[in-house]
Amino acid sequence: MPRDDQEAVEPDRFEGAPHPREQFAFFGHREGEEAFLDGLRSGRLHHAWLIGGGQGIGKATLAYRVARSILDPQMSRDRAIPSLDVPPDSHVARQVAALSHPNLSVLRRAPATDKKGPSATIPVEAVRRALGMFGSTAANGGYRVCIVDSADDLTISSANALLKVIEEPPPRSIFLIVSHAPQRVLPTIRSRCRRLLLRPLENHDISAAIASLGSLWTDIPQDVLDQALLYGEGSVRRTLELLDAEKVAFIDQVTRLLNGLPKADTKQVLALAEALSRRDADDSYELALETVQRWVSERLHERAGLGASRLAPLVEVCEKIGRSAREIDVFNLDRRPFILTMFDDLADAVRRAA
């Protein structure tokens, strides 16, 4: 497949940015990197790691960064290794970028083809095929590495197939399991992994990461970047998605309505419900729901010290919104009454939580 075509269809690539396996700049997460460096320096690297955290904060970038270091024969034997940096033009780096290293397996959703779109899950057949490498001797006597990106895409069968290998790992095997929601990963997998939770990035790290991507992103006006950082939740990917003046303005609009609760601007809420009910409003509808969920999360965080009884109304309405949103999607229902009810329920929850 031509390189340009491959980039266009990979489900784990953000358009306009390098894939994590091609990203050599690394921002933040010093503690996460040190955890792996300690293992390499001591020669006692745990065989399975669960790398958790929000989407787009650098989990997969760290996994590929670790893989390059482990697969580099000199670095993996260096007991004084100073960092996980591997030169981009090295043989190992080129092989990992091309997914052609004989000791590397990557479990991810399948890219799109001419006949069908990208897969929605990682099927058990793909897991068995990828893990077949672990039944052979590692090339050059080195480590064998498996990256799972992400565990959230595993089916029950494929998760169990992965578990069998992690339970009885072959010698010199390392599993780097990425997850956006590590608490939902199969408990038996979690129990066999060293868990590494990456925190949201600081704004200066996100800004530096975006600056490293080139003129496509650095030409964005500073005021738009500042607003995107405000709503980016410590994620480079999320911030990139919001580098759009119209999106940021829409988030501001919804946030102002929410901040006015329990008083609701009925006219504006009706106008919002009408706009989100249109057939071409799918993106705005999803953005509105994300904004509501983030707003509720922020309120819960602000009031964390008030006790469970005071927080219960907000938790309950958040769960109700999630259930209703799923029903809207499954049954293709009218969004208008859902949006109106959502603001009514939120207003009531704010009053009860006051």
Per-residue pLDDT tens digits for 52-77: 999 999 999 999 999 999 999 888 88
For position 309, what pLDDT does the model report? Answer: 84
pLDDT at 321 over 50: yes
Q: What is the pLDDT of residues 132-169, one digit of tens each?
A: 888 766 666 689 999 999 999 999 999 999 999 999 99
Q: What percent of the chain lies above the pLDDT cut of 90?
A: 78
For position 140, what pLDDT does the model report? Answer: 67
- Mean pLDDT (whole number) for 156-185: 95
Average pLDDT, the chain: 92
pLDDT at 353 over 60: yes
Instruction: State the pLDDT confidence band at 215, using cuts at 50, 70 and 90.
Output: confident
Give bridge partners of residue 107 from the DSSP assignment.
148
Q: 12 or 249: whose pLDDT is higher? A: 249
Cross-sheet strand order for the sheet of 173-179: 104-107, 144-149, 173-179, 48-52, 194-197
Sequence-ordered list of residues with C-beta below 8 angstroms from that of 161, at least 6 positions apart, any chain: 124, 127, 128, 131
For position 132, what pLDDT does the model report? Answer: 86
For position 9, what pLDDT does the model report? Answer: 61
pLDDT at 1 over 60: no
Taking the C-alpha atoms of residue 123 and residue 115, their distance in angstroms, rounded to an integer, is 18
Q: Is 17 within 8 Å of 240 (Cβ atoms)?
A: yes
Instruction: State the pLDDT confidence band at 340, using cuts at 50, 70 and 90.
Output: very high
For position 214, what pLDDT does the model report? Answer: 86
For position 25, what pLDDT does the model report? Answer: 94
Of all helices (H) and strands (E), which one includes residue 256? helix 245-259
Q: What is the pLDDT of residues 76-129, one digit of tens each?
A: 888 899 999 999 999 999 999 999 999 999 999 987 777 777 788 999 999 999
Taking the C-alpha atoms of residue 234 and residue 230, their distance in angstroms, rounded to an integer, is 9
Q: What is the pLDDT of residues 11-56, one digit of tens each?
A: 888 988 999 999 999 999 999 999 999 999 998 999 999 999 999 9
Residue that is written with structure tokens 């309505």 in the block: 257
Instruction: State the pLDDT confidence band at 8, using cuts at 50, 70 and 90.
Output: very low
Q: Is 231 within 8 Å of 248 (Cβ atoms)?
A: yes
Q: Is 9 within 8 Å of 16 (Cβ atoms)?
A: no
**Of 173, 170, 158, 148, the residue nearest 51 (C-alpha):** 148
For position 337, what pLDDT does the model report? Answer: 97
Q: What is the chain's percent helix, strand, coil content, to nearest 5?
A: 60, 10, 35
